[in-house]
Amino acid sequence: MAGNKGLTSPQEDYSRWYNEVVLKAELADYSPVKGTMVIRPYGYTLWENVQEQLDRRFKETGHVNAYFPLFIPMSFLEKEAEHVEGFSPELAVVTHAGGKELEEPLVVRPTSETIIGYMYSKWVRSYRDLPILINQWANVVRWELRTRLFLRTSEFLWQEGHTAHATREEAMEETLRILDLYADFAENEAAIPVIKGIKTERERFAGAVASYTIEAMMGNGWALQSGTSHFLGQNFAKAFDIKFLDQNNQLQYAWTTSWGVSTRMVGAIIMAHGDERGLRLPPRLAPIQVVIVPIWRQAADGKAILAKAQEIATALKGASVRVKVDDREQYQPGYKFNEWELRGVPLRIELGPRDLAANKVVLARRDRPAREGKTTVALSDLTTTVQSLLTEIQASMLSTARAFRDAHTHSVSSYDEFKEYLASEGGFFRVYWAGSNEDEAHIKEETKATIRCLPFDQPEGEGTCFYTGKRTNQVAIFARAY
Amino acid sequence: MAGNKGLTSPQEDYSRWYNEVVLKAELADYSPVKGTMVIRPYGYTLWENVQEQLDRRFKETGHVNAYFPLFIPMSFLEKEAEHVEGFSPELAVVTHAGGKELEEPLVVRPTSETIIGYMYSKWVRSYRDLPILINQWANVVRWELRTRLFLRTSEFLWQEGHTAHATREEAMEETLRILDLYADFAENEAAIPVIKGIKTERERFAGAVASYTIEAMMGNGWALQSGTSHFLGQNFAKAFDIKFLDQNNQLQYAWTTSWGVSTRMVGAIIMAHGDERGLRLPPRLAPIQVVIVPIWRQAADGKAILAKAQEIATALKGASVRVKVDDREQYQPGYKFNEWELRGVPLRIELGPRDLAANKVVLARRDRPAREGKTTVALSDLTTTVQSLLTEIQASMLSTARAFRDAHTHSVSSYDEFKEYLASEGGFFRVYWAGSNEDEAHIKEETKATIRCLPFDQPEGEGTCFYTGKRTNQVAIFARAY
């Protein structure tokens, strides 16, 4: 498939390709404030669709939304030692407000475990007050030195779930229920296959007992952590005094969890599916699922074709298809094809005078190369064909992404082999692992690859650690990561 | 109607009643950061319902959502002289981030005209790029000395629309289209009648050419500004250089508007409808529209009644009714009745052993006193009866609020009479007005009443200004306001 005019090829310079796609597809723009971004309507609508599908899943599993303050007293963060250590370098601090210097500086939330923990300690008295299953949609700020649109920005949007439970078991069940929910969202809405697993100690959330993750492979073989779910044990309950009387009238500390998916997910969608022609959006999340491009040379044809295009759009809208008619007169059809391919619209309808006369249209799939993706359809069958094609494209994008990931997942038996493959092929490395924290740090220093997770899907038998040579029954996924 | 146990009567102390309702109904809670609040799930769900109904209207009128950064360089605010003057006293300022002092302090947005104006200047080149019809759902910060849950908090949630147009006429049409949209929302979703009008110069948004408002009457006769729509002329376009080539290839400044509704709307709903028993929520926005309270004395009855309650709930959910079964075993039915009345649920279903045996339930309306609001309904008619009652309650709440407002709107012909009525009766004063800015300031100083707006609904003929004695054809609405 030929590339899109003016778009750097992803093979040539993946990072540049990514930035160009984000800007040219009008997903986002740089903002005048260093490290922050503007999410433009097309990118924000994609995020709204992500939100809608996640939010539906949260509510179906008994969660409710709430809103906690943006500002957190510095002293709150200091109550959990690991937490403050992890977040201190990234904090933005309000020192003046209302024309005066504040007595205590306020931190702009980097995450909300502390202030939410404080409120839970006020709300929880008895086991009857548990569980608390609250989620918040919010902006958070983590001051980053090296930023990247959607992937790493000083301010980003996310949801952060914070739950409190009476028992360890319930909190652990919740942590894993959410991980499953995230994986279900990634695969069935974003068409991105993910690997579920647990983070090693080095990569654990600051203050958590255990951090779980879904890891996805991007088009350059790197990993993107696409959602995390943390089992916080009683760490925050002890720091914030979240206590309750249990059924035996004994005072107990609660068990808490936290979990989040952010606007990084938009970056994941771009990089898991994009190609040399630009974005490819999964139909279930695409802001525009179908674009209709009317084609005419003689002005006399224009009016009838535009009217027909609107008629088709109305019919598709009636069937809950998100459709747009590109009726701009200043551009040629070829220009429009390129633009909507760049912007990743899953399905294009071409409508010209000859098609109109024959009561037909041409359908072009974004996920298939030019000829292979084209079919001619009778107008009478259009709605059902569009609906079934959208379903097919969604499924096909997931299986394509899965096949790509599997083809780029290697198993190596020595560190030399690992380094060689990492340099030549990249991708994921599913390897037996019995190393230490220090070994992991050393590998990162030498190769920039990290353990993405210890996947849930572990082998039945033993093998030899590729790095230490020790026998082990544990497998890890190594990769370069964003 | 008797009051709710433990709730201060609104007649006795309206302000205390308000705070108690917010806290006891679990709409919100105080936060440890001065002047900020925690919106609890029940209050946040109400806000989500407000959001959904506004957002639907925005999208139906061609608007799209986007997201702009939280932080704005101080220098941006300074580009529009009136704007910076208006907002300076309320700014929260980030001076340190990532462990370092920032070169230029960043303001936490109090509103986003400036940063959005900057971005529009980058995006707009030609008349074909206009109009831009963008809305943002966001948190904003205005450091307030005297705060009030929902009504005035240092951080609040809102939507802010920012549009840019090629002509003055289009921008003015947009300004008024949104004002109509807000009024339609207030009346048809929140059941709050509003007065549309224009603000006087004193009350105008900092930087606007003209500010339009919808003003609602609260239960104590005070006014609450419930939404504003500003015609910004070319003020911000000139400050941020938003220019475009028009159809004649002439460079022109764009015309912009901005408009917002905030979490204050939740305060409006509480105060427009609440009574001595607590909240009364309009069915279209109520998080829970129907609560089912099962009633039994003998444990043997409990199981069958709970099963029936769940069966009814399932049927109602199937008809898109938001329903909850209160199956808590630790509370008596009377306690539950009080609690759900306090929390404003529009309709209660009581289900006891005798009802069950007769295939009937008792329905109790929140908006009517105890006996008057009760009816017995056969189970077979329940869903249709519930649906029609919810519609009836919605309409009845609007007409009750309108009758209340009209009964508390006075017309006076002298300043003495004005002061006398304001002190004894309160309410709105619809008066002929030919005063100056200074007169308005003087009245505020003496009486705390302000001009809420010059209503669109103006009289046909002339009259005498109640303050200056001059003849005029202009009428103003004066009131005490939040």
For residues B92 and B32, membership in a common domain is answered with yes
User: Quick check: is B68 in a domain?
Assistant: yes
Nearest-CA distance B110 → chain A (Å): 12
User: Quick check: is A393 in a domain?
Assistant: no
Q: Which of A273, A302, A332 is the last residue of a domain?
A: A273
Q: Which of B242, B273, B304 is the last residue of a domain?
A: B273
In chain A, the number of structural domains is 3
Is the pLDDT assigned to residue B1 strictly greater than 60? no
Give me the mean pLDDT over the B61-68 stretch: 98
User: Quick check: is B64 in a domain?
Assistant: yes
Q: Which of A388, A423, A447 is the last residue of a domain?
A: A388
User: Quick check: is B256 in a domain?
Assistant: yes
**CATH, residue B162:** 3.30.930.10
- Compare B298 and A381 and report the one with higher pLDDT: A381
| Helix (H), strand (E) at residue B101 | strand B100-108
A100 close to A61: Cβ distance less than 8 angstroms: no
**CATH, residue B354:** 3.40.50.800
B290 close to B386: Cβ distance less than 8 angstroms: yes
For residues A158 and B67, what is the distance between their CA atoms, to the nearest angstrom? Answer: 13
**8 Å CB contact of B69 and A44:** no
Nearest-CA distance A58 → chain B (Å): 13
Residue that has been written with the tokens 């929880």 in this structure: A124
For residues A235 and A368, membership in a common domain is answered with no
> What's the pLDDT band for B4 if we cut at 50, 70, 90?
confident
**8 Å CB contact of B93 and A97:** yes
Q: What are B144's two structure tokens?
A: 């307030």
Chain B CB contacts of A67 below 8 Å: 38-39, 44, 47, 157
Nearest residue, CB atoms, A31 vs list B39, B69, B123: B69
Tens of pLDDT along A204-222? 999 999 999 999 999 999 9
Tens of pLDDT along A249-271? 999 999 999 999 999 999 999 99
Tell me, rounded to whole angstroms, the distance of Cα A362 from its chain centroid: 33
User: Quick check: is B328 in a domain?
Assistant: yes
Q: What are B476's two structure tokens?
A: 């103003």
**8 Å CB contact of B122 and A29:** yes
Chain A CB contacts of B105 below 8 Å: 96
Substitution target from A33, A47, A74, A101 for chain B, most B beta carbons within 10 A: A33
Chain A CB contacts of B65 below 8 Å: 41, 44-45, 48
Pick from A49-53, A156-160, A419-423, B78-82: least confident: B78-82
How many other C-beta atoms lie within 10 A of the C-beta of residue B354?
A: 11
> What's the pLDDT band for A474 if we cut at 50, 70, 90?
very high
User: Quick check: is A9 in a domain?
Assistant: no
For residues A224 and A373, membership in a common domain is answered with no
Nearest residue, CB atoms, A68 vs list B38, B65, B330: B38
- Calculate what percentage of chain A has a pLDDT beyond 90: 93
Tens of pLDDT along B294-340? 998 888 888 999 999 999 999 999 999 999 999 999 999 999 999 99
Substitution target from B29, B38, B134, B263 for chain A, most A beta carbons within 10 A: B38
User: In sequence order, which ranges of A274-414 are alpha helices (DSSP H)?
Assistant: 299-318, 333-342, 353-357, 382-407
DSSP letter string, B206-244: TT-SEEEEEEEE-TTS-EEEEEEEEE-TTHHHHHHT-EE
Query: Would the CA dihedral through A394, A400, A403, A409 be positive or negative?
Result: negative
Chain A CB contacts of B92 below 8 Å: 71, 94, 96-98, 106
Can you give the pLDDT at residue B2?
64
For residues B263 and B294, membership in a common domain is answered with no
Chain A CB contacts of B138 below 8 Å: 139
Give me the mean pLDDT over the A70-93 stretch: 93
Substitution target from A31, A91, A94 for chain B, most B beta carbons within 10 A: A94
For residues B258 and B314, membership in a common domain is answered with no
Tens of pLDDT along A32-63? 998 999 999 999 999 999 999 999 999 999 99
For residues B149 and B269, membership in a common domain is answered with yes
Can you give the pLDDT at residue B479?
98
Boundaries of domain holding A305: 290-388
> What's the pLDDT band for B63 if we cut at 50, 70, 90?
very high
**Mean of all residue pLDDT scores within chain A:** 96
Nearest-CA distance A324 → chain B (Å): 13
Nearest residue, CB atoms, A70 vs list B95, B128, B155: B155
Q: How many CB pairs lie under 8 A apart between chains A and B? A: 159
Is the pLDDT assigned to residue A421 strictly greater than 60? yes
Nearest-CA distance A107 → chain B (Å): 9
- Calculate what percentage of chain A has a pLDDT beyond 70: 100
For residues A243 and A361, membership in a common domain is answered with no
Q: Over A39-105, what HEC string results? A: ECHHHHHHHHHHHHHHHHHHHHCCCEECECCCEEEHHHHCCCHHHHHHHHHHCEEEEEECCEEEEEE
**8 Å CB contact of B145 and A98:** yes
ipTM, two decimals, is 0.97
Chain B residue with minimum CA distance to A40: B66
Chain A CB contacts of B143 below 8 Å: 97-98
**8 Å CB contact of A39 and B67:** yes
For residues A54 and A179, membership in a common domain is answered with yes
For residues A152 and A144, what is the distance between their CA atoms, to the nearest angstrom? Answer: 7
User: Quick check: is B263 in a domain?
Assistant: yes
Which residues are within 8 A (CB) of B43 and not within 5 positions of it... i.e. 6 or more apart?
B22, B25, B26, B27, B28, B150, B266
For residues B124 and B228, membership in a common domain is answered with yes
For residues A131 and A196, membership in a common domain is answered with yes
> What's the pLDDT band for A370 if we cut at 50, 70, 90?
confident
For residues A434 and A309, membership in a common domain is answered with no
Chain B CB contacts of A93 below 8 Å: 94-97
Q: Which amino acid is at B224?
A: L
Chain B residue with minimum CA distance to A118: B32
**CATH, residue A442:** 3.30.110.30
For residues A381 and A427, membership in a common domain is answered with no
Can you give the pLDDT at residue A2?
64
Give me the mean pLDDT over the A351-368 stretch: 94
Neighbour-count burial of B214, counting CB atoms closer than 10 A to its CB (0-12 exposed, 13-18 middle, 19+ buried): buried
Chain A residue with minimum CA distance to B64: A41
User: Quick check: is A345 in a domain?
Assistant: yes
